[in-house]
Amino acid sequence: MNTPAFCRIFPFALFMGWIGGEEALRFISRQGFFSLSPEAFLYLYPLKAISVGMALVFLRSRYDEIRLSDLATFSKTFASLILGFLVFILWINMDWVFASQSTPQGFNPTLFADPLTRNTMVAFRLMGAAVVVPIMEELFWRSFLVRYIIDKDFTSIPVGLFTWPSFLITVVLFGLEHHLIVAGIMAGIAYNALLYYTKSIAHCILSHAVTNLLLGIYVLQTGRWHFW
């Protein structure tokens, strides 16, 4: 339960479990077993963000590959920020129907009439997308899986070691994790490339966080909820 692999898999698995539970509820609701309003499903997001965030905090001492001191290297930090911005720009222009697994439900806080509830949900969504998700995903994809594909004793593999199999497999799987598959593959390529350049999970988290924060701001400004 406290192995290096478990500590990096569990927060991601918990997050995906919440998504699976939500999809199951939507399916059951569509079958008429019970009826839930569209906004009822949005209440699951704070639970998802809090539970995964708590898991990351509880296991934080095990994540020795996240070194904030890495961010002191200006050139690499600047590259991380720019890459996060570029991924955001590409992402909002890659919502092609043919490249989507399904029509995403999106997270539309305007479904809540009460301003306090609406603003609270927006805050949870931004926190989850820009803080919890980047840490959780980078630990799983670029700290654990990239190295595990190279060697099951993944902690013996230095962060940022390149091999074609680990690169291609993680990029494709990262794309399949998202509704917008091609956009997800694009982001996977970008973040993997950053990993190989910086040899730093902290830089990958920063870049991922920039992308997600900008996407959140964009969605709130434009109302294109399917991106959220």
Enumerate residues 6+ apart whose C-beta is below 8 A from 113: none
Burial class, 171, CB count within 10 angstroms (exposed 0-12 / middle 13-18 / buried 19+): buried
Q: Output the pLDDT for position 99.
A: 67
**Neighbouring C-beta atoms of residue 216, cutoff 10 Å:** 21
Summarised one tens digit per residue, pLDDT across range 164-174 is: 999 999 999 99
CA 100 to chain centre: 17
44 pLDDT band, cuts 50/70/90, is very high
Taking the C-alpha atoms of residue 16 and residue 47, their distance in angstroms, rounded to an integer, is: 13
pLDDT in tens, 84-114: 999 999 999 998 877 677 667 789 999 998 9
- pTM of structure: 0.94
